Amino acid sequence: MLHNLTKLRPVLLLLLVPVLLTTACFPSHPQSTFEAAGPVAEAQLKLFYIIFWAAVFVFVVVNGAFIYAFIKYRRRANEAHLPKQTHGHTVLEITWTIAPMIILAIITVPTITTIFYTAEPPPGKTLELKVIAHQWWWEFEYPDLGITTANELHVPVGMAIDVSLESKDVIHSFWIPKLAGKMDLVPGHINTMWFQADRAGEFYGLCAEFCGTAHAQMRFMVHAEKQSDFDAWVESIKATPGEMTGLAAKGKDLFVNKGFDGTLRGEKVTAQRCAFCHTVEGLPIRGAVGPVLTHVGGRETIGAGIIDNSAGNLKAWLTNPDKMKPGVGMPTLSIADDELDALVAYLEGLQ
Q: Least Å distance between CB 133 and Cu ion?
A: 6
Q: Which of residues 76-115 bind ligand HEC (CB under 6 A)?
A: none
Contacts of 128 (CB under 8 A, 6+ apart): 142, 143, 144, 162, 164
* Binding test (CB under 6 A) with ligand HEC, winner from 133, 244, 333, 345: 333
Only one of the segments 47-55, 60-68, 206-214, 307-315 lies at the binding site for Cu ion (rule: CB under 5 A); that segment is 206-214
On whether the CB atoms of residues 225 and 154 are closer than 8 A, the answer is yes
Residue closest to 327 by CA, chosen among 208, 204, 207, 218: 218
Please, which residue, 250 or 278, has the CB nearer to ligand HEC?
A: 278
Only one of the segments 18-26, 62-70, 163-171, 273-281 lies at the binding site for ligand HEC (rule: CB under 6 A); that segment is 273-281
Q: Which of residues 198-217 bind ligand HEC (CB under 6 A)?
A: 214
Contact status: 151 vs ligand HEC (CB under 6 A): yes
Could you give the CA distance from residue 308 to residue 299 in angstroms, rounded to a whole number?
Answer: 9
Identity at 325, one-letter amino acid code:
K
Q: Are strands 260-264 and 219-225 parallel, antiparallel or unpaired?
A: unpaired
Contact status: 181 vs ligand HEC (CB under 6 A): no
Residues linked to residue 132 through DSSP beta bridges, in sequence order: 139, 166
Contact status: 272 vs ligand HEC (CB under 6 A): yes
Contact status: 350 vs ligand HEC (CB under 6 A): no
E-state strands within the chain: 126-134, 137-142, 147-150, 152-156, 160-167, 172-176, 180-185, 191-195, 201-207, 219-225, 260-264, 267-272, 301-302, 307-308, 332-333
* Binding test (CB under 5 A) with Cu ion, winner from 129, 176, 207, 302: 207
Contacts with ligand HEC by CB under 6 A: the residue count is 32
Could you give the CA distance from residue 266 to residue 293 in angstroms, rounded to a whole number?
Answer: 25
Interface positions with Cu ion (CB under 5 A):
172, 207, 211, 218
Interface positions with ligand HEC (CB under 6 A):
136-137, 150-151, 214, 255, 260, 272, 274, 276-278, 289-291, 293, 296, 299, 302-304, 317-318, 325, 328-331, 333, 335, 343, 347
